[in-house]
Homo-oligomer: A and B are copies of this chain.
Amino acid sequence: MVETVSGPDLSAALPARSVPAPVVARLPGYLQALESLRAGGRSTVSSEELAGMCAVGSAILRRDLSHLSAAGRRGVGYDCAGLAANIRSFLGLDRVRRIGIIGAGRLGSALADYAGIAASGFALAGVFDTSPRVVGTSVGGLTVSPMGDFAERSAEAGIELAVIAVPAPAAQSAADAAVAAGIRGILNFAPVVLTVPPAVHVRHVDLATELQVLAHYTAAEAREQQQ
């Protein structure tokens, strides 16, 4: 769902724009596999092996990588460290990206403590909540700030991405506050379709949706017959 511009050709300067969304969505998986290979001391991988680790086909992996300026060596494979750096750069992770978590309830706290955040190239730089009972407590190593301070504190802390982990009724106003503060990327865990300006990117993770999809497939198998 990336905007399509057909006019001037800036592909030479910026291939990023034209990379299909499904490709972007697979890159983090490749990156993770590369990290684990590197941790195991491996220096190169073949497309076949890397694809196997990520549960995709080797052809699709090679084509995905062709979108970035990754250089594999024919007859050898890909350099783990080099490819990892390349993907990280493509994802905008060649510098640490700071994130803020809105909502310091159970889910927000769990996300704040998730060790993978730092390992993935991010830094938790703020935790916010509206409830006075939570403000001031410590979550994820940070003191919870009142939601009213979001704009000020996110600017101070250099927060670029917001994670919304509040109850459904509060999600839209949390998003509004984030947008007003200049945030342009939102990861939404609340079961609500957020309305934001086109310049803001939203990704939506919903437990109920995932379970329902799973329910369909398991039920379909049992039924064996579809309508």
Which residues of A line the B interface, CB within 8 A? Answer: 2-6, 8-10, 13-14, 16-19, 24-25, 27-29, 31-33, 48-49, 51-57, 60, 68-69, 90-93, 97, 99, 105-107, 109-111, 113-114, 116-117, 119-122, 160-161, 163, 168, 184-187, 191, 193, 199, 201, 203, 205-224, 226-227
CA distance A69 to B8 in the complex (A): 26
Additional pairs, 8, CB under 8 Å, beyond known A5-B51, A14-B224, A161-B218: A10-B227, A92-B218, A97-B211, A97-B219, A114-B207, A120-B211, A186-B214, A187-B214
CA distance A152 to B150 in the complex (A): 48
16 residue pairs bridging A and B, Cβ less than 8 Å apart: A4-B52, A5-B48, A16-B223, A27-B212, A28-B209, A33-B193, A92-B215, A92-B218, A110-B110, A120-B212, A122-B208, A122-B211, A184-B218, A187-B207, A187-B210, A205-B210
Q: Which residues of B contact A223 (CB under 8 A)?
A: 14, 16
A19 in contact with B226 given A10-B55, A54-B193 (CB within 8 Å): yes
CA distance A226 to B33 in the complex (A): 24
Q: Which residues of B contact A187 (CB under 8 A)?
A: 207, 210-211, 214
Contact B110 A105 (CB under 8 A): yes
A224 in contact with B161 given A52-B4, A120-B211, A208-B28 (CB within 8 Å): no
**Chain B: minimal CB distance from A168 (Å):** 8
Q: Which residues of B contact A212 (CB under 8 A)?
A: 27-28, 31, 91, 93, 120-121
Q: Which residues of B contact A222 (CB under 8 A)?
A: 92
